[in-house]
A and B are shown apart, each in its own frame.
Chain A
Amino acid sequence: MSASIELDPSKRIPLVLGNHTFESVTEVISKPTETKAPKWWWIALCGAVSLLLLLVAMIGYLVFEGIGVWGLNNPVAWGFAIVNLVFWVGIGHAGTLISAILFLFRQKWRTSINRFAEAMTIFAVICALVFPAIHVGRIWVAYFMFPVPNQMVMWPNFRSPLLWDLFAFSTYFTVSLLFWYVGLVPDLATLRDRSKTKARKIAYGIFALGWRGANRHWQNYEKAYMILAALAAPLVLSVHSIVSFDFAVSQLPGWHTTIFPPYFVAGAVFSGFAMVVSLMVIAREMFGLKELVTMHHLECMNKVILVTGTMVGYAYGMEFFMAWYSGYEYESFAFINRAFGPYAWAYWIMISCNVISPQLFWFKKLRTSIPIMFVISIFVNIGMWFERFVITVTLSRDFLPSSWGYYSPTWVDICTLIGSFGLFFTLFLLFLRFLPMVSMAEVKGVMPEANPHHGEKH
């Protein structure tokens, strides 16, 4: 089918395949929430929860024992905590881009994947927030980050980008959650109306906010959705820009460079889309969603990965060029040190995963191959984690050669990172089980049946 349609530019590729009707779409999407959970789900949940417990244990140990259990040292004062923070926040960016920017750009293919990606945004931000919270050391005074009045006549330092992070993240989290929830309301009402038990009806009923699908409801809904999209669009840029400020406002070679804000944003979208592809490839297989999340959707996502990956490559290149062009010897040294110093292995993992591997998506054959896109998306996730690792730990050779050393994470660092995946996947598996993972209302809107003139003869 698709070959002939793709060769006719006057037609658009259908976004829902098969002989789906509105009813069958509702069936397919509601099914995972209404039938007994499959065995693999239970197994996966057990795995995820055990990792989550690992995270909790590690945090408990950290709070009890102190930050010394991590591998931090003097030039590398941030270590894994910031690497994981930036990594997780980045993962969330696909959701915001899909829900806000692609909505404003009228990219209709977003409808099959936006719910999924937005859920990831929220869970990823939760994972991210764990790290700065536990890195403060004395976690019981973390409330000090808020400008609360106190008897010590002290105010938070508003000139610290870490404080801006607090505001950026909380705004981002709030808007993303609202966006996700507003989109969910009509679907929750569908689940409520389909529920066969009283408890289920009440549970979904509360969150459906009395949605009846009336004309007036839809009108308000569309308006709210548009406004939230407009609010969320700058957030796509702002959050990761402010994360990049954490590094870039410093005077450190390799950290202080003006391209950081847009470069971090591109990288975040890049890693976020990679995560969506990794998980979507599995989910559409497991839940029989192949006709809703088609190869066309996956291909579009892979194209976004190619574009953003190349942007990241551009930023690496510009950094390197300017490090030389600046004639600033410390800057040049920082980059030579990255590429050929003690962390060269991490640097080249980053380059090969982030810049080279997505280039395979230039070929249609490769970007429409499920195994290849899965492998590349995993590579991208690894590469993007290493990008932040490289940025953070190459500080181990700073201005003062006497303090030069080698940063190595401890077992606590590594277990905390692994544990954060437990938190993410626990939340994600619960989402798959209890909420519609594809937006029913929006997918129906892009089906031919939604056209008021559908079925009319000309």
Chain B
Amino acid sequence: MSKDTSVARHNIKLTGFLAITLPKISLAVGIVFLVLGLFVSRNNLHHFSYSYLTSFIFYLVCSLGALFFVIIQHLTRAGWSVLLRRVAEVLMSNLWVLAIMFIPVLFALPHLYHWTLAEAAQDHILKGKSGYLNIPFFVIRSVIFFAAWLLISRLFFKKSVDQDLSGDHSITLSLQKAATWAVAVFAITQTFAYVDWVMSLTPHWYSTVFGVYFFAVSAVASLSMLSLILMILRRFGFLKDLVNVEHFHDLGKFLYGFNIFWTYIAFSQYFLIWYSNIPEETAFFHQHFAGSWNTTAILLTIGHFVIPFITFMSRHARRNLKFHCGMVIWMLVMTYLDIFWVIMPNVLPSGFHLGFSDIASFLGLGGIFVWAFFTKLKSVNLIPVQDPRLHESINFHNT
């Protein structure tokens, strides 16, 4: 019991710059860059749609990964992570912003997905897929995906916040129960969401592991994002004595493991397609290895796998918070590059090129994302103060 009262002495409400000034600045940055990006690209909306989609998917993987993180903590009755859970909960709550950000994508369908165009009717293969790849069904599916995610994220967020007040242990039990079906719904919806929104950019191509691939992307991105946000909070004097090097060490291990998982899935997908050499499948890599995209792929291999694999292996590296911070930023950059490499060759067939529309989309959507995140974070406690396993997380030590 003594632990619970001591938590109250800590700074567990977001105040100051992060609560007031930063959201304002980021909202302004977001709107300015979105408008600017749209203005500058007004004659090339085709390109801008792809840039927009890339950034949208980047923020989506962060929030969806956080949703998975929260569910899995409940599912496994984890103790170590209780202190970190609220930040992840707020990160996943940003899914409502993403739902709104998705609306422009619906208007850009003819730019992005050539199966929506009239000439697709002449394409023998696309004609066969039209039972799945048609606009009404695509829209219905997108609505279902977001409805499911919003339902799950609201449930987990609301109940967790309610527990802050009531301290009711039965909330933990009910969330543990809910986590079971939630993880199943998550697995199916996220798979088909990425199939629809990303894989169908190249509608002839198919890969059964694609959903798992993007799941790995989202796990890496969200863990990096979570670590980074916690470091920023600590930098501003929040949770300083609560979230300590032990928690970062564990987050680092988690990130390291999922990064190897990403490599494993990415390699399996590439390798099996390379080995079999079936034109239907190799077409994707042909397109994604054209020109300087080849260099991008090599950079990804080195940057997304080799560098973190070697440098982040050591316990000392994970526990060195400065290095850890650098690594998670690096991993977020690599995640963006990965998504960029998957999406952008569709509009830039000759090679890598980072243009203003990409930067504008990234900062534009990012500004709004950050605004929504900190606005929400300010309204709740930074940690689930009454969670029955809070003491485990506070006293957590890696052996």
Contacts and interface: CB of A to CB of B under 8 A. Distances in A.
A328 interface: yes
A259 B212 contact: yes
B169 A322 contact: no
B187 A314 contact: yes
B-side interface size class = 35 or more
A258 B208 contact: yes
Contact of B264 (A106, A237, A250, A256): A237
A241 B129 contact: no
B326 interface: no
B278 interface: yes
A8 B391 CA distance: 14
A310 B184 contact: yes
Interface stretch (B90-98, B265-273, B287-295, B363-371): B265-273
Tell me which of B176, B207, B210, B268 has the highest count of chain A C-beta atoms within 10 A of its own C-beta. B268
A325 B302 CA distance: 33
B143 interface: no
B280 interface: yes
B272 A327 contact: no
A261 interface: yes
Contact of B276 (A8, A251, A326): A251
Interface of B: 77, 80, 124-126, 128-129, 132, 169, 172-173, 176, 180, 184, 187-188, 191, 204, 206-212, 253, 257, 260, 264-265, 268-269, 272-273, 275-278, 280, 388-389, 391
Given A262-B268, A325-B129, A8 B388 contact: yes
A75 to B, nearest CB: 18
Contacts of A249: 272, 275-276
A-side interface size class = 20 to 34
A327 B128 contact: yes
A319 interface: yes
B259 to A, nearest CB: 13
B276 A10 contact: no
Interface string A249-289: 11100001111111000000000000000000000000000
Contact of B212 (A9, A262, A326, A362): A262
A143 B269 CA distance: 32
Interface string A429-446: 000000000000000000
Contact of A318 (B191, B275, B278, B389): B191
B173 A322 contact: no
A10 B388 contact: yes
A245 B271 CA distance: 10
Given A10-B388, A259-B209, A319-B208, A326 B280 contact: yes
A10 B242 CA distance: 19
A234 interface: yes
Contacts of A326: 206, 280
Tell me which of A241, A250, A322 has the highest count of chain B C-beta atoms within 10 A of its own C-beta. A322
Interface in A1-59: 7-10
Nearest to B77: A9
Given A250-B276, A258-B273, A318-B211, A9 B173 contact: yes
Contacts, number: 87
B305 to A, nearest CB: 13
Tell me which of A7, A237, A258, A318 has the highest count of chain B C-beta atoms within 10 A of its own C-beta. A258
Closest 8 pairs (CB-CB, A-B): A259-B208, A10-B388, A258-B209, A327-B125, A327-B128, A259-B209, A9-B172, A249-B275
Nearest to B391: A10
A258 B271 CA distance: 9
A373 interface: no
Contact of A7 (B128, B173, B269, B272): B173
Given A258-B269, A362-B180, 4 more contacts: A245-B272, A262-B212, A318-B208, A325-B129
Given A322-B206, A326-B206, A261 B389 contact: no
Contacts of A395: none
Contacts of B391: 10
Contacts of B212: 259, 262
A256 B272 contact: yes
B388 A258 contact: no
A288 to B, nearest CB: 29
B249 to A, nearest CB: 13
Given A9-B389, A262-B265, A362-B180, A328 B208 contact: no
A258 B169 contact: no
Interface string A313-329: 01100110010011110
A315 B128 CA distance: 22
A248 interface: yes
Tell me which of B173, B191, B272, B388 has the highest count of chain A C-beta atoms within 10 A of its own C-beta. B272
A310 B188 CA distance: 11
Contacts of B208: 257-259, 315, 318-319, 322
